[in-house]
Structure 1
């Protein structure tokens, strides 16, 4: 692809068709064409490994595959064969399949800090089930979420806290309170202020920064002392931090945790896991009030569970987590060197754990800039790199990383010109990309 002549006529037509039939033009807001430079939002035809092809025939090295879900690479043979095998045997029945028992056994062996597990299709359902369970167990109404982490669920208890809160009653919003990451004093102050009201603490154990020393253990102690349920959202950290998630890496065990994304390598499967005495509230072997924990028609489709088992086996046997970290370290070092060599090392900034890299685009004053992000994404696309983040998949080769770094260097050269001009407008090609969470279209 020629950087000066990149055009996507078929993708543009496909985007118009998508918007005509699907609100937002995509089934996930983070995949919307408003997240990409104007007229440069490729519509995907297919993918294999770490590469995808758009409907215009262009090939890209892809990062952040499937919003971090496809961590082994597209069409991974071990995973697709496992799913194909079960599809041929039927995928959904009027009673549980033996595959459900096998998948639960496999999951609990991979995440030994959990004692029971229930599968679903998406992360929102699993995390909302954790909140409902915590409220039932504690008899308390409030949910405390980490305000520094961007997303927990599409359901009202969380979305009401975002700028896209239209349609959610104020009374619902008032029951969710936020706390800052890494600050135990602030956490204790919140729990004291709402003494006896907070059902659970919901957070990612780690995100773009590592947890401060003693923070997670401190949260565990505070949750115990105040009678709260500690919930780790492991949608991203699951498998990417360790096969057993962040809880396996940091050695702090939550009461409940939720997994998804990498669990199915693109297949729809998520999991709510946790302590038996809590999880049994959603079962048939306790004497208290029943909790409608998770009950989904497609929650235990055999092909998705088979895919999840294949993913876990592959991670353990092939050391995938270590590979993700090695690839991420190589990429981060290359991008930082490229940015520094072009004089924009303080403006194109790579952040996060090596297995979960993101980048920041900063303006002349060092502030986050959607306009400079637009410039950067536009140059990456022109070079054949589709990268809303720098989150790696295990299918990337060293050659893919090297090619990416070369394209980043070219993008940084243009970035330097824009900084010197104190105006990136000539290089935007249209309106800037937009944040997902915003009040107005």
Structure 2
């Protein structure tokens, strides 16, 4: 396939502002049309144009592999694809072929499809720590179902979540804890409490503060930091001792840490776990999995009070289940998790070297597991800065790199990473100039990017 050229020069010795004159008129017009019809201008807040430099939020036309094209005709190397969901790259041939085969066979029936049998068997073979699985369309449905099941099984009202992890669900039990709790009753908010990641003593104090009230502990088993030694096994022991359900949110760690999730990598089995994102390579599928005695409470073959667990019209849409099966087969057969780690290690080393070479190694900081890299943009005092993030994103965009994070897909080539590092070096040169000036404002091109969770628009 013929590719258009990246928009900007990649001369890493150029200290000029490569974003000067960079404009996206068609994307800007499309964003205005979106805001007129769609609250927030996107269907996910993390994709909003407020997350990008002013007037430089590309509206995507199409993607293939690790590349996307905007409606203005610019080609970008894309990182964090689909909020970490497209880990094999866009339009992956094996996934697309599996989906295409199902499309001609119908997609939703009045009774379960044989695809539901095959997809469940494939998932439970991939994640052998679980006994049963139920599919849904998004992560929020899966995590909320896990919370409901934990409350039903324990008879307890409170949810304890890891307060250091950014997102669990769009539902009230979580959103009420964020800076955007509008519309959620205070009584609901009071039922969710938080514990810090990595601190077993603090978690035990929380459980002691609410004896026999906490139904579950829910957390991502790892994020941009690895779990401290014996931390996850310690949580397992605390949950058992206090009668709580332990829930691992594996939306991100699933597949990126190992095919069977972080629970397999670290050898700690939760009672319930939730998967999504990479599971469908962009297609809408998520999963709630766990111990049979818990999961069966949402079924028909038990004598306890029934739990309305997950019941969604499109939860087992056949072409999405086909995509999930193809993804799992590809991960196992091609060693995709190892590929992601190798690509991430190469990228992280290159970015760190480029930043150090331009004298901003302490300001542009790459963090996280190689398969799930993020970056921090720090000011001259070492504090996180939305202004410097804006400057950095603007330079990357102008150089043909769309990178709200540095989360890799397996479709990246060595050439893609080399180009990214060159653009990062150019961006670091501008970053150095702004630090020396003590004010990044002249390089922002407008208002700074904003955090997703904030009380006012």
TM-score, normalising length: structure 2: 0.96
Residue deviations 1:178-228 (CA, integer Å, cap 9, x gap): 000000000100000001000000000000100000000000000000000
SS at match of 2:384: coil
Q: How does 1:78-227 map to 2 (within 5 A)?
A: 78-227=94-243
State the 1:137 CA deviation. Answer: 0.2
d(CA) in 2 for partners of 1:63, 1:209: 19
Select the residue among 370, 387, 410 that pairs with 1:394: 410
Partner of 1:373: 389
Structure 1, unpaired ranges of 5+: none
Partner of 1:242: 258
Q: How does 1:36-75 map to 2 (within 5 A)?
A: 36-75=52-91
State the 1:5 CA deviation. Answer: 2.4
d(CA) in 2 for partners of 1:211, 1:163: 26
Residue deviations 1:225-272 (CA, integer Å, cap 9, x gap): 000000000000000000000001000000000000000000000000
SS at match of 2:61: strand
SS at match of 1:40: coil
Structure 2, unpaired ranges of 5+: 1-6, 9-17
State the 1:311 CA deviation. Answer: 0.1
Partner of 1:433: 449
d(CA) in 1 for partners of 2:264, 2:416: 30
SS at match of 1:207: coil
d(CA) in 1 for partners of 2:400, 2:243: 52
Residue deviations 1:320-372 (CA, integer Å, cap 9, x gap): 00000000000000000000000000000000000000000000100000000
Select the residue among 330, 337, 344 that pairs with 2:353: 337
SS at match of 2:91: coil
d(CA) in 1 for partners of 2:224, 2:195: 17
Residue deviations 1:123-178 (CA, integer Å, cap 9, x gap): 00000000000000000000000000000000000000000100000000000000
Structure 1's consecutive aligned runs of 4 or more residues displaced over 3 angstroms after TM superposition are none
SS at match of 1:262: helix
Select the residue among 287, 291, 295 that pairs with 2:303: 287
d(CA) in 1 for partners of 2:448, 2:299: 49
SS at match of 1:212: coil
d(CA) in 2 for partners of 1:248, 1:80: 28
State the 1:14 CA deviation. Answer: 0.1
Q: How does 1:294-309 map to 2 (within 5 A)?
A: 294-309=310-325
State the 1:6 CA deviation. Answer: 1.3
Partner of 2:426: 410
Partner of 1:11: 27
d(CA) in 2 for partners of 1:8, 1:415: 22
d(CA) in 1 for partners of 2:294, 2:188: 24
CA RMSD of aligned residues (A): 0.4
Residue deviations 1:34-90 (CA, integer Å, cap 9, x gap): 000000000000000000000000000000000000000000000011011001100
Select the residue among 403, 414, 423 that pairs with 2:439: 423
d(CA) in 1 for partners of 2:69, 2:400: 10
d(CA) in 2 for partners of 1:398, 1:147: 37
SS at match of 1:223: helix
d(CA) in 1 for partners of 2:106, 2:295: 29
Select the residue among 373, 382, 401 that pairs with 1:357: 373
Q: Does 1:264 align with 2:296?
A: no
TM-score, normalising length: structure 1: 1.00
d(CA) in 2 for partners of 1:198, 1:36: 39
d(CA) in 1 for partners of 2:220, 2:365: 22
Partner of 1:231: 247
- Count of residues in correspondence between the two structures: 441
